[in-house]
Chain A
Amino acid sequence: MAKLEEIETEEHGETTMSIKMRRKKKKYSIIIPTYNERLNIALVIYLVFKHLQDFEFEVIIVDDGSPDGTQDVIKQLQNVYGEDRVLLRARPKKLGLGTAYYHGLKHASGDFIIIMDADLSHHPKYLPSFIRKQMETGASIVTGTRYVRNGGVHGWNLIRKLTSRGANVLAQTLLWPGVSDLTGSFRLYERKAFEDIISSVVSKGYVFQMEMIVRASRKGYHIEEVPITFVDRVYGSSKLGGSEILEYLKGLVYLLITT
Chain B
Amino acid sequence: MVEKRRIERGGEDRRRKVSVDVNRRCKKDRSNSLQVIVVLTMKHILKIMALVVVVAGLWISLLQTSVVPRSYTWLLPVYLIISLGCYGLLMVGIGLILFPTCPQEAVLLQKDIVEAKEFLTSRGVDVGSD
If over half of A's interface residues share one DSSP class (helix, strand or loop), that class is named, otherwise mixed; here it is helix
> Does A42 have its Cβ within 8 Å of any Cβ on chain B?
yes
A234–B105 contact, CB under 8 A?
Answer: no
B100–A146 contact, CB under 8 A?
Answer: yes
Stretch binding the partner chain, chosen from B5-13, B54-62, B67-75, B119-127: B119-127
Q: How far is the CB of B98 from chain A (nearest CB, A)?
A: 9
Complex contacts, B95 vs chain A, CB 8 Å: 147, 165, 168-169
How many residues does chain B have at the interface if contact means C-beta atoms less than 8 Å apart?
34
A154–B91 contact, CB under 8 A?
Answer: no
> Does A55 have its Cβ within 8 Å of any Cβ on chain B?
no
Complex contacts, B43 vs chain A, CB 8 Å: 257-259
A153-B102 in contact given A169-B91, A257-B43 (Cβ < 8 Å): yes
> Does A96 have its Cβ within 8 Å of any Cβ on chain B?
no
How many residues does chain A have at the interface if contact means C-beta atoms less than 8 Å apart?
48
> Does A238 have its Cβ within 8 Å of any Cβ on chain B?
no
Complex contacts, B91 vs chain A, CB 8 Å: 165, 169, 172-173
Tell me the residues in window 40-79 of chain B with beta carbons closer than 8 Å to chain A beta carbons: 42-45, 48
- Partner pick for B120 among A46, A231, A258, A259, CB 8 A cutoff: A46
Q: How far is the CA of A47 from the CA of B115 in the complex (A)?
A: 9
A39–B127 contact, CB under 8 A?
Answer: yes
Complex contacts, B34 vs chain A, CB 8 Å: none
> Does A120 have its Cβ within 8 Å of any Cβ on chain B?
yes
Q: How far is the CA of A258 from the CA of B45 in the complex (A)?
A: 8
Show the binding face of A for B, using Cβ within 8 Å: 38-39, 42-43, 46-47, 72-73, 76-77, 79-80, 120, 123, 146-155, 158, 161-162, 165-166, 168-170, 172-176, 218, 229-231, 234-235, 255-259
Question: What are 18 A-B interface contacts by the 8 Å CB criterion?
Answer: A42-B125, A43-B113, A46-B116, A46-B119, A47-B112, A79-B123, A147-B95, A147-B100, A154-B102, A154-B103, A162-B92, A162-B96, A165-B92, A165-B96, A169-B91, A218-B42, A230-B102, A256-B45
Show the binding face of B for A, using Cβ within 8 Å: 42-45, 48, 87-88, 91-92, 95-96, 99-103, 105-106, 109-110, 112-113, 116-117, 119-120, 123-130
